[in-house]
Amino acid sequence: MKNNNNLNELLIQAAALIKAKEFDEAIPVYEAILEIDDVNIKALTHLPIMYIMKKRFKEAVAMINKSFKVVKPEISDYQNLATAYAELKDYKNAIDSYKKIIKIDPKITDVYKLLGDVQMEIVDYHGAFESYKHALDLSPKRFDQLYDLGVVLEYLGNFIDALSLLAEAVVIKPNHIECNNRLASCLSANGEYKEAKIVYKKLMGLVPEALTPRINFSSNLMYEGHYDEAEKILTEILIQNPESHEVKLSLSFLYLHKKKFSEGWKYYDARLYIRNSVDKSERFEMIKKYLDIDVNSKSLKTSDKILILLDGGLGDVILGFSMLKEFHKKYSNISAEVDSRLISLAKRSFPDIQFYPINIHNHEILIKHNFNQFDKAIYWLSLGKYVRQDVESFPQKPAGFLKAETNNINKIKNKLKKDKKIVCGISWKSSAAEGAHKSTELESLVPILSTKGIKFLDLQYETERNLGQTTIEKENIKNNNNIVIEEYQGIDKFMDIDGLSSLISSCDIIVTTSNVTAHLAGGLGVKTYLFVPFSRGRLWYWHENNGVSIWYPSIRVFRAESPGEWGDIFEKIAKEIVQEMT
């Protein structure tokens, strides 16, 4: 564009270019206008829109904020600003911009939807729920509103309400792929496996090339206990799609469930690629820049300086602890990452190993150690391929491998054991992804809680999601059944894992569902009665041999007899406890 300092001519030229939709040519004209008149309203308001169209989001943000100094912002300006911020992944400012729109006009449905979308990006599911609910209240019968609210309810673990909304949404758009997929997922989560398989079959017809419906169909077969049929399907899919991490991991879980460990570990590292695909920090990819990670092979050498990497939740790391001494015998130069809540327990239990605490804040992993000091890395549960190749390689005696703080144990016991009653620690909820299938109501434990000669101690930790729920359940049990569940004061059972370990070690027996309490009790060698669901929610490592956990020999495993039902499992545990007491 030739230099032209005539403002009116430039404005006429810019208007003509916009009318002709020649936006690439219009941008430099408006930029030239601002060089002459830096507060020209048309240039300040038109340029941001074109910048957004051309994905020049930083320039759009700067221009919109500049325009705010000249003209009073309108809803459309805040919408453009929010769009640009969201594209830049500056979600905080995007949320602020959407909230300013709502302040101006609280009845714009689409703004609540867009706000909810951004809140989903930062994993603020409760915030997204409120936003999507406002959108649905304003437009009750629109597909997007029903679908969005259904999805966030699924994320929050409210599968029943999610199912209702998604079922209503799929009536509006019967062939919407992701809505059908979510619907099937919620059916499965509610234990309606036959109905879920019907929807997955429908999806196989709609998108025959897609892997997910076929994998999920096989998962539902496993939930029903049909492992051989599921294995056949997954093996066929893997032959057709040998690079699919999703298929490999599903097949790995199936093999591990069946105690076919050498086959299971072969594909288990696929979890790392799947986790990385949804991990906003992309930690796996970042570490690979510094270290050779032992993935899909057994490449470690005895001379290597090895770092064991954080893997999954607390329970996964404790499961890794169960293999640490044997692994350390083979590879002497090892260090390990652990969640900072486990650091004291880890150092006391394994004094010959260097541990590095990991802090997780707002889904960001914070570290202080230097990766360059190591030769190789391996994730905690990948130790299994080195030391747990078959059932015979598991520990046979119920001795614990974790050591709680002795002085703290003595202090707790002095407070608890003022009478001669057996102290039984109890925990009945899990906040994990499959927590809904593993958890039960405290009332379900009444057959156990009614056992004479036992003092029951509350070991149930709480998260923000269920804060205060334990107190309510204990009050109901006291009022309805005259059963008192004692609370030991001064230990945060979610954050103070070292204190929780001392509390568990002070008990004579533990009754718990599959959660961190179970892993700690097994690791500490405390006699434990573990109740697990029939299939879904019974994680692959809760194998048993003659009713005893092969990972934690101090744990007796009681499995429900049918999908979605606990049946008489708590009566069986109560009977077992009484038999061992007499």
Residue 462 belongs to some domain of the structure? yes
Residue 399 belongs to some domain of the structure? no
pLDDT, one tens digit per residue, over 144-193 is 999 999 999 999 888 999 999 999 999 999 999 999 999 999 999 888 99
One domain, residues 105 and 160: yes
Residue 18 belongs to some domain of the structure? no
Q: Domain holding 417: CATH number?
A: 3.40.50.2000
pLDDT the model gives residue 137:
97
Res. 467: pLDDT tops 80: no
Most confident of 287-291, 416-420, 521-525: 521-525
Residue 231 belongs to some domain of the structure? yes
- For residues 158 and 150, give the distance between their C-alpha atoms in angstroms, rounded to a whole number: 9
Q: Phi first, then psi: give them for residue 210, nearest 5 degrees.
A: -75, 140
- For residues 537 and 530, give the distance between their C-alpha atoms in angstroms, rounded to a whole number: 13
- More confident: 134 or 434: 134
Q: Phi first, then psi: give them for residue 72, nearest 5 degrees.
A: -70, 125
**CB half-sphere exposure, 441, CA atoms < 13 A:** 9
Res. 3: pLDDT tops 70: no
* Domain end marker among 393, 425, 449: 393
Q: What is the mean pLDDT of residues 55-69?
A: 94
Answering whether pTM is above 0.85, one says no
Res. 1: pLDDT tops 60: no
Give the chain's domain count: 3
One domain, residues 293 and 374: yes
Residue 4 pLDDT class (50, 70, 90 cuts): low
Residue 400 belongs to some domain of the structure? no
Res. 435: pLDDT tops 90: no
* Domain end marker among 214, 236, 268: 268
pLDDT, one tens digit per residue, over 522-564 is 999 999 999 999 888 899 999 888 899 999 999 999 999 888 7
One domain, residues 198 and 285: no
One domain, residues 145 and 236: yes
For residue 445, what is the DSSP state?
G
The CA distances from residue 514 to 378, 428, 520, in Å, are: 25, 8, 11
One domain, residues 174 and 228: yes
One domain, residues 426 and 541: yes
Residue 278 pLDDT class (50, 70, 90 cuts): confident
One domain, residues 133 and 202: yes
134: enclosing H helix or E strand? helix 125-138
Residue 20 belongs to some domain of the structure? no
pLDDT the model gives residue 82:
97
Residues ≥6 apart with Cβ < 8 Å to 496:
341
Over the chain, what is the mean pLDDT?
93
One domain, residues 114 and 67: yes
pLDDT the model gives residue 276:
87
List b or e across 409-448, with b for residues whose CB sees 16 or more CB atoms inside 10 angstroms.
beebeeebeeeeebbbbbbbbbbbebbbbbbbebeebbbb
- For residues 543 and 216, give the distance between their C-alpha atoms in angstroms, rounded to a whole number: 23
In the sheet with 422-427, reading across from the earlier edge strand, the strands are 485-486, 454-458, 422-427, 509-513, 528-532, 555-559, 548-549, 544-545
Q: How many percent of the chain have pLDDT more than 90? A: 79
Q: How many percent of the chain have pLDDT more than 70? A: 98
Q: Domain holding 36: CATH number?
A: 1.25.40.10
Q: Can you read off the two tokens belonging to residue 455?
A: 């003092």
Q: What is the mean pLDDT of residues 296-312?
A: 94
Residue 367 pLDDT class (50, 70, 90 cuts): confident
Residue 259 belongs to some domain of the structure? yes
pLDDT the model gives residue 398:
78
List b or e across 464-494, with b for residues whose CB sees 16 or more CB atoms inside 10 angstroms.
eebeeebeebbeebeeeeebebeebeebebb
One domain, residues 359 and 263: no
One domain, residues 418 and 543: yes
Q: Are 315 and 380 in contact (CB under 8 A)?
A: no
Structural domain boundaries enclosing 146: 31-268
One domain, residues 161 and 48: yes
pLDDT, one tens digit per residue, over 198-245 is 999 999 999 999 999 999 999 999 999 899 999 999 999 999 999 999
One domain, residues 199 and 337: no
The CA distances from residue 404 to 76, 89, 130, 346, 407, in Å, are: 60, 43, 43, 10, 9
Q: What is the mean pLDDT of residues 317-325?
A: 97
pLDDT, one tens digit per residue, over 102-155 is 999 999 999 999 999 999 999 899 999 999 999 999 999 999 999 999 999 999
* Full DSSP string of 381-406: GGGHHHH-SSGGGS--S---S----H
* Domain end marker among 238, 268, 298: 268
Q: Can you read off the two tokens belonging to residue 365?
A: 């992993």
Residue 2 belongs to some domain of the structure? no
Angle between helices 177-189 and 193-206 in degrees, nearest 10: 160
pLDDT, one tens digit per residue, over 16-37 is 998 998 989 999 998 999 989 9
